């Protein structure tokens, strides 16, 4: 039933865009387009005492819904961190096919980095951030920028409950939270099919990891494995998956799930070791929790400083309710306050 409801993207987009907030007298909010990509730029109205931080924000929504109307988060960060926040309205799949969303995010990032003076932003204080699939985009953009020597170096990446791999869908968090709202395990994979513009005919096979060749499982086991998840995150239950048969036709149908763009956890150490300082949020009741835990370990193993906030009561999508008064969740408020404190520490 839930998948049927979510199959109507028009309805889903309307509902999840939320209620527009009232005008904010403390912010200057400007809309523009860069290469057909909508941007919304938030700047505090009070005069700066020096150059400000510049924060790019990529919203979540499985690449198929969400927009720059994800206002409350961006307004909060702009005011609490005295920063310029650029919300990127990357074009959505399936109308704009994968991997176009990454190009939109990259082009928006390059525009901002090349026009910092216009926004009175310190080039040493650029932060790339996002939630859910937006955190995936932020991760990939930071990996791409490692080799862009003509641009300012990114100060930090801020990743809020990121989805970072499509190789192992039987990690502890995928088992424990398979039926936990808002992102059920089966629904998460269904959204992947919609994002890639594929019919979900192989959904059950993908849930059993039948899309992954044995050679890939062996190659990446050192990075993506329940063995790398601390035991404290297995207490709620974990059963190692029995061996499943690889199905070539399933792999061919969804091989993008294993690409570096979709699964930046698979990036080589030569890239990971050059990444900026990182802030990662994970939520206990989130199928994607272990993606964040595994990336945290990879970064730390490569000498990258990581600040980690784990929300014991949080669930995937809790920030979608942030700023809605009695409809908000304490977990979302704590995540935002911790995030603001981290940004202000830079």
What is the rounded CA–CA span in Å between residue 166 and residue 102? 17
What are the residue ranges of helices labelled H in 69-169? 71-80, 100-113, 133-145
Q: What angle do CA 75, 276, 60 make, to 5 degrees?
A: 40
For 25, phi then psi, to 5°, come to: -70, -15
Q: Which residues on neighbouring strands pair with residue 311, listed in sequence order?
A: 283
Query: Are residues 162 and 262 in contact, defined by beta-carbon separation less than 8 angstroms?
Result: no
Give the CA radius of gyration of the chain.
Answer: 19
The DSSP letter of residue 256 is G
What is the rounded CA–CA span in Å between residue 312 and residue 273? 29
- Write the DSSP assignment of 143-171 as a string of letters: HHHTT-TTSPPP-EEEEES----SS-TTS
For this structure, is 316 an active site residue? yes
CA 319 to chain centroid: 12
For this structure, is 31 an active site residue? no
What is the rounded CA–CA span in Å between residue 36 and residue 14? 21
State the virtual CA torsion across 247, 249, 255, 258 in degrees, nearest 10. 0
Out of 83, 132, 173, 331, which one is annotated catalytic?
A: 132
Out of 59, 211, 309, 316, which one is annotated catalytic?
A: 316
For this structure, is 17 an active site residue? no
Query: Are residues 74 and 24 in contact, defined by beta-carbon separation less than 8 angstroms?
Result: no
Edge-to-edge strand order for the sheet containing 27-34? 27-34, 37-44, 83-88, 52-58, 121-131, 156-160, 277-285, 306-315
What is the rounded CA–CA span in Å between residue 293 and residue 299? 10
Out of 104, 286, 290, 291, which one is annotated catalytic?
A: 286
Which residues are designated catalytic? 132, 286, 316
């Amino acid at each position: 039933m839930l998948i049927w409801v979510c199959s109507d993207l028009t309805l889903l987009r309307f509902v999840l865009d939320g209620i527009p907030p009232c005008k904010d007298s403390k912010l200057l909010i400007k809309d523009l387009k860069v290469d057909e990509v909508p941007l919304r730029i938030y700047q505090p109205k009070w005069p700066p005492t020096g150059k400000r931080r510049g924060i790019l924000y990529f919203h979540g929504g499985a690449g198929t819904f969400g927009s720059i109307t994800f206002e409350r988060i961006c307004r909060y960060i702009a005011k609490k961190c005295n920063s310029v926040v650029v919300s990127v309205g990357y074009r959505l799949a399936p109308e704009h096919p994968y991997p176009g969303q990454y190009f939109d995010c990259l082009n928006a990032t390059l525009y901002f980095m090349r026009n910092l003076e216009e926004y009175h932003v310190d080039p040493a204080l650029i932060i790339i951030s996002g939630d859910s699939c937006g955190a995936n985009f932020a991760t990939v953009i930071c990996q791409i920028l490692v080799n862009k020597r003509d641009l300012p170096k990114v100060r930090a990446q801020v990743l809020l409950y990121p989805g970072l791999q499509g190789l192992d869908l039987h990690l502890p968090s995928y088992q424990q939270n398979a039926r936990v709202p808002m992102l059920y395990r089966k629904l998460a994979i269904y959204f992947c099919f919609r994002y890639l513009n594929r019919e979900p005919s192989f959904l059950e096979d993908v849930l059993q990891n039948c899309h992954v060749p044995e050679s890939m499982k062996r190659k990446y086991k050192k990075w993506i494995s329940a063995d790398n998840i601390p035991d404290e995150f297995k207490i709620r239950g974990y059963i190692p998956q029995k061996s499943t048969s690889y199905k070539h036709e399933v792999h061919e149908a969804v091989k993008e799930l294993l690409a570096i763009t979709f699964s930046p956890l698979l990036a080589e150490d030569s890239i990971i070791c050059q990444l900026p300082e990182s802030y990662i949020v994970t939520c206990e009741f989130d199928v994607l929790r272990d993606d964040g835990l595994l990336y945290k370990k990879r970064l730390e193993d490569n000498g990258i400083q990581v600040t980690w906030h784990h929300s014991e009561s949080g669930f995937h999508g809790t920030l979608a309710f942030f700023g809605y008064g009695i409809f908000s969740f304490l977990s979302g408020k704590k995540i935002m306050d911790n995030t603001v404190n981290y940004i202000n520490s830079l």
